[in-house]
Amino acid sequence: MDSSSSSRRVVVTGLGVVTSLGHDVDSFWASLVAGKCGIDRVSLFDPSELASQIGAEVRNWEAAQHMDPKEARRNDRYTHFGFVAAKQAFKDAGLDMGKEDGDRVGVMIGSGIGGMYTYESQLKVLAERGPRKVSPFTIPSLIGNMCSGLFAIEIGARGPNFGVVSACATGTHALGEAAHAIRRGDVDVMVAGGSEAAITPFAYASFCAMKAMSTRNTEPARASRPFDRGRDGFIMGEGAGVLVLESYEHAMARGARIYCELAGYAATCDAYHITQPDPEGKGLSMAMKRALASAGTAPEQIEYINAHGTSTPYNDKFETLAIKKVFGDHARTVAISSTKSMTGHLLGAAGGIESVICVKTLQTQTIAPTINLEDPDPDCDLDYVPNVARPAKVKTVLSNNLGFGGQNAAVVFRSV
């Protein structure tokens, strides 16, 4: 979305989420602003042998209550979350496919890991019962593009459709690339975001082997503490965040309610290390600079940043450094928060739900806090909106996400 691209403006007209803090946008936002934490001991499996035993699960969830029971049985938990969040967003946008050209509507819902439940359960079937008992729905259920495909079938969207995969930057990349498709004139509407359901034994064992996850098992609600001196790793979350994007002209022509504009986007790579961020913040700072440039926005115009803020020692320190590089003196005055302190880290869905948070920040003029920030790390010395939500006059916001492999994504939203 650089200065040479089409002048078509991209706006947000629909929001949908499924998270540990609520199965819809209103309940999710109310919990977030209240500083509630969705992290507790893992109940989806017995975590007692693992170093990390806590997570932000979507509880009291029955997919068959939200989608066709047959499709629910045939698809993975990550697809359930993304499909339902997409249905919410589509309804919120007030779109009627009877009045739309299906060729001009696309879907781009990414996942960093895809169908981990299916992968693990069917491997167990193979080992215990043999190859003839493996489900014929295994492959379509576990692959990372299935959520996009299933929702396109649901609404009859024949435009661009695929699943973005860039680890924890997936959701933001999906939104940015969807916006590109609209700007290019390929489509008028895109349903985009991220979905993840990786609270499984194999995923946990793998992340624990990397020593990436918090082991503060006796204090689940206090375990995710971005920018705090006592942080010791991320906490897995699950769920989905999906937005409906449209060209401004299309939204106006149908009389849609417009939340805000998706004004800027950029993607970069650290080209430094497979799991650790660049210690000088080069890739992330470049992503932020390019996103601002693509939006035609000066750093001083950003009033809020939803930080990646994973509660890991490396990320929070280096993200703070990158923000200082980009924003200079303004870094000391811009409000920043990591909502992962409440939602946990949703991996490929993080950018989706955090973009919803940015849109709600603009709509409500309220900044959600960073909870559990009790003893700030001296290397993390900016305004992270500690512990309590804050009313603020906000017109332009930015969201960051980083992923293993060195992927970086930044997106800018502003009031219309």
Phi, psi for 335 (deg, rounded to 5): -80, 135
Residues of the chain with pLDDT > 90: what percent?
Answer: 97
Q: Which of 23, 173, 250, 345 is catalytic?
A: 345
Tell me the residue type at 74: R
What the block records as the tokens of 6 is: 């089409």
User: What is the pLDDT at residue 170?
Assistant: 98
Instruction: Please list the alpha-helical segments (H only) found in 219-331.
Output: 248-253, 282-295, 313-327
CATH fold of 10-253 reads: Peroxisomal Thiolase; Chain A, domain 1 (3.40.47)
State pLDDT tens for residues 126-161: 999 999 999 999 999 999 999 999 999 999 999 999
Helix (H, G, I), strand (E, B) or coil at 241: strand
What gap in Å lies between CA 345 and CA 252, rounded to an integer? 35
Task: Report whether pLDDT(6) > 80.
Answer: no
CA dihedral over 112, 192, 185, 162, signed as positive or negative: positive
Q: Which of 168, 208, 358, 380 is catalytic?
A: 168
State pLDDT tens for residues 184-228: 999 999 999 999 999 999 999 999 999 999 999 999 999 999 999
Task: Report whether pLDDT(101) > 60.
Answer: yes
| Whether the Cβ atoms of residue 292 and residue 48 lie closer than 8 Å to each other | no
Confidence band, pLDDT 50/70/90 cuts, at residue 376: very high
Q: Output the CATH code of domain 264-414.
A: 3.40.47.10
Confidence band, pLDDT 50/70/90 cuts, at residue 2: very low
Residues of the chain with CATH 3.40.47.10: 10-253, 264-414
Task: Report whether pLDDT(3) > 80.
Answer: no
- Report field, pTM of the whole predicted structure over 0.85: yes
Residue 308 annotated to the active site: yes
User: What is the pLDDT at residue 7?
Assistant: 76
Residue 168 annotated to the active site: yes
Confidence band, pLDDT 50/70/90 cuts, at residue 4: very low
**The residue to which tokens 């500690």 are assigned:** 386
Residue 37 annotated to the active site: no
Q: For 10-18, what is the mean pLDDT?
A: 98
Task: Give the list of residues 6+ apart from residue 70 with CB closer than 8 angstroms, or none.
Answer: none
Q: For 167-179, what is the mean pLDDT?
A: 98
| Whether the Cβ atoms of residue 108 and residue 194 lie closer than 8 Å to each other | no
Q: Which of 23, 80, 180, 308 is catalytic?
A: 308
